[in-house]
Homo-oligomer: A and B are copies of this chain.
Amino acid sequence: MKLKEFAKQLGLSPTTVSRALSGYPEVSEKTRKRVAEEAVRLGYRPNVNAVRLVTGRAGAIGVVMGRNGEFQFSEYMSGMAERLDSEDIDILVTPIAEQGGKDESQLYSRLATSGRVDAVIIHSPMPKDERIALLHRLGMPFLVHGRSETDVPHAWLDIDNEGAVRRATSHLIDLGHRRIAMINGRAGLTFSLHRDQGYRKALEQRGIPFDPRLVAHGHFTDELGFRFARSFLEQSPPPTAFVVGSMMTALGVYRAVRSFGLVVGRDISVIAHDDVFPYLTADNMVPSLSTTRSSLRAAGARSADLVLQLLSGRPATEIHELWPVELILRESTGPVPHSDAIPDKAG
């Protein structure tokens, strides 16, 4: 059913019908209501592509999926969908092809100039992220999920990674731990940096010297968690606590601790960051895992919301949101075992 035909059946002009459906004020309330009802009854819905052509809008938000099919994406997108459900806006996923080899920024500029999306969401930004400059230059609206230090104005939504890790580390210090290892995300990413800073600040505040041998960076995989944890535990003296970047990594850490005949929560304390996935929960681990928690799904929903605001004209410079992170203590954290306790110089 086309607009023309539908309008004729109503005895109205296409103009009036179009306006009625779009909620323009130039149409009487009575007419608007009638049009809306008939549209449902007769099943008229504007052709998306015609609308897109004439309005110049794409009706979609672009999301670029990282190189390794990162497992958290589904959760974030579910959140986006929650918010976008009522709007007439799609989520367009552009995964970076594994073998592609093509320059990543080329992918972004192609996406931006393709006219397929009205806005883009950037993930895992770096302090100096060229994607931000690129999209700004191209005039494509975008939201950064995370933060960057660039001068280019940009909208962002981030969680307080620095604060989260600072509190986690402080808590471990409160429990008497002095050698605390940290398994962080990939080096160079802003959130990894912030977490590093949180870790160092906590140590500093308590006068504990920073030991670079206790910090590792890498992808959030079970395997790296295992390897890093093992190599830390081989040091002498070994750390008595771990601050870990993800649930998947924590799995590897648990495994490594066990492989040394040690017990998590008694010999070794662990706090991990939890993005809240339905298929892997901190409460169910044995022992249950203390976490810094922030829902990725909620972030997705709010991201969609902020992008909509951006598209309706709110200036990017106004859109900055920093979410606090909960620290949830469970069984994986406990006081430092006595034999390992090192006198606290500051105490």
Interface residues of A (CB under 8 A from B): 45, 47-50, 52-53, 56, 58, 60, 65, 68-71, 73-75, 77-78, 80-82, 85, 90-100, 113-116, 219-223, 226, 248, 251-252, 255, 258-259, 277-281, 284-286, 297
Contact = CB atoms under 8 A, between A and B. Distances in A.
A226 B283 CA distance: 12
Most chain B C-beta atoms within 10 Å of own C-beta, residue among A75, A99, A220, A281: A75
Nearest to A70: B74
Most chain B C-beta atoms within 10 Å of own C-beta, residue among A49, A90, A297: A49
B99 A82 contact: yes
A74 B115 CA distance: 24
A74 B98 CA distance: 12
Given A71-B74, A91-B92, A221-B281, 12 more contacts: A52-B52, A60-B92, A69-B277, A81-B95, A82-B98, A221-B280, A222-B279, A222-B284, A223-B284, A226-B286, A255-B286, A258-B258
A106 to B, nearest CB: 12
A226 B279 CA distance: 12
A1 B297 CA distance: 39
Contact of A220 (B58, B93, B223, B279): B279
Contacts of A85: 97, 100
9 contacts: A45-B113, A47-B115, A71-B277, A78-B97, A81-B94, A82-B97, A85-B97, A221-B279, A222-B284
Contacts of A56: 49
B82 A278 contact: no
B91 A90 contact: no
Given A53-B53, A73-B73, A77-B69, A284 B226 contact: yes
Contact of A281 (B58, B70, B222): B222
Nearest to A284: B223
A99 B298 CA distance: 13
